[in-house]
Amino acid sequence: MSANQSKLYAWSLIVGLAGFLFGFDTVVISGADQSLSNLWRSYTLGGESSAFHGIVVMSSALWGTVLGAALGAFPTDKLGRKKTLFCIGIFYFVSALGSALTSDPYLFALFRFIGGIGVGVSTIAAPAYVSEIAPAKERGKLVALYQFNIVFGILIAFASNYFIGSLVSGANAWRYMLGAEALPALAYLLLITRVPKSPRWLLSRGEVDQARSILARLHNASVNIDEVISEIDKAAGNETAETVFQKKYRKQLWLVIALAAFNQFSGINAFLYYSPRIFEMAGLESSAALLSSIGVGAVNLIFTLIGLSLIDKSGRKKLMIIGSLGYILSLGLVTYSFATGWFGMHVTYFFFLFIASHAIGQGAVIWVFISEIFPNKQRAQGQSVGTSTHWILAAIIPALVPLLFTTIGASTVFGIFTVMMVLQLVWVLLIMPETKGVSLEELSKSLGQYQKTINKS
């Protein structure tokens, strides 16, 4: 590996650590689920303790993520990708310490909300940064490092919860589970200072010399940096600083909205938030449920690595087809198990298949696809639309899961998820375009031409 490639991979990996904190923050709450439910059982919402627990306690971070995703384009564009990524680390650190130390459910929700803002903004800033420094032929796997870090964070959170639960007895074990996130947040803050600013962002601000210096560190000596800058400037010259809601970007908007919506209607976040509870509902004891959650994290990591290795070879669309078929099979089996009471360890294996399908399909593709189909000047805005859709549904669905399980039943919930994945497969086959191996500038141009054809017809 050349020195240039080493820098490219190092910077992509460091930025991807924002994804590690995303994954850790999202899942670490699962280990505290039952303890927090018991601790604040007297609090109700609409007379329902389960509603208060789901909407206020468990989903507060997700509501913060919605806000972060909705507003994250502003700091990503105005402050720059690097400064925004640094601020994200501060949010994670404050959230971890605050939520671990408070005894008030509303303050707890506030600190989790702050961490959620960090998650939401990171889903814009981190993929945008990596997509802007990566060559077209490696963009998929480098942006997917963000997703790899998400699932690595999920695995470490599950493992951390299991070992803390084994080592710390008493009602306050959940505090150590949540507070553990402060350590990786601090490490991330120190590392992110070592990456440079995005050269494409610098060029958009007229800082040509600094951008040229960074591009020279990313490319081999044989590459003419002035030609690279000229190509970026030429594409930027055809762009205007207009809103992403213009008619010309309608296709890109519907693509990211559909992809993000299908991601959540698989039930992935609902499962990650409540996996120990779901495993217990399927007949596993509490300790076995936590241990099975570690298995979920391990399967997620392995199949994310497989997806990462294939995304620039097989392409985004083929991975989505494979993932959709796996979703349909695994969720169908889970639905049948809960409908008939056919419980046991095999239900765990069905969920392992579900996680593998997600990891190799939607998990590997979503942040790559959303970060690459908009023009440079509209990239952060477009990502904000896609990630906002993702996180609004990611807040609503897990918030309703405890209530839905007690009203319509788990089999109906998983049956709905199964049907949605059938619809996703149809969408992928008929509508989703392939984007592998195309430069950001060429991809923007081709999608724009496609939209013009649609408008004329």
- Which residues 6+ apart lie within 8 Å of 68 measured at CB? 116, 117, 118, 119, 120, 121, 122, 123, 391
DSSP letters, 177-225, are HHHTTHHHHHHHHHHHTTS---HHHHHHTT-HHHHHHHHHHHS-TTS-H
CA-based nearest residue to 430, from 296, 321, 286, 304: 321
Half-sphere exposure of 424 (CA within 13 A, CB side): 33
Determine the 3-state secondary structure of 291 from DSSP. helix
**Which pLDDT value is given to residue 237?**
61
Residue 101's SS3 state is helix
Ordered by where they begin, the domains of the chain are: 3-195+238-456 (1.20.1250.20)
Along the chain (457 residues), what's the average pLDDT of each consecutive run of 10 residues?
A: 79 92 87 85 80 81 88 91 95 96 92 94 90 84 85 88 86 92 96 93 90 87 84 68 80 93 92 80 75 83 91 93 97 95 89 95 91 82 89 84 89 96 97 85 68 42
What per-residue confidence (pLDDT) applies to 239?
Answer: 55
CA distances from 353 to 42, 89, 151, 269, 325 (A): 38, 33, 15, 16, 11
Q: What is the pLDDT of residue 445?
A: 73
Between CA 257 and CA 370 the distance in angstroms is 9
Contact between 192 and 47 under an 8 Å Cβ cutoff? The reply is no
pLDDT at 241: 61
Q: Per this entry, what is the length of the chain?
A: 457
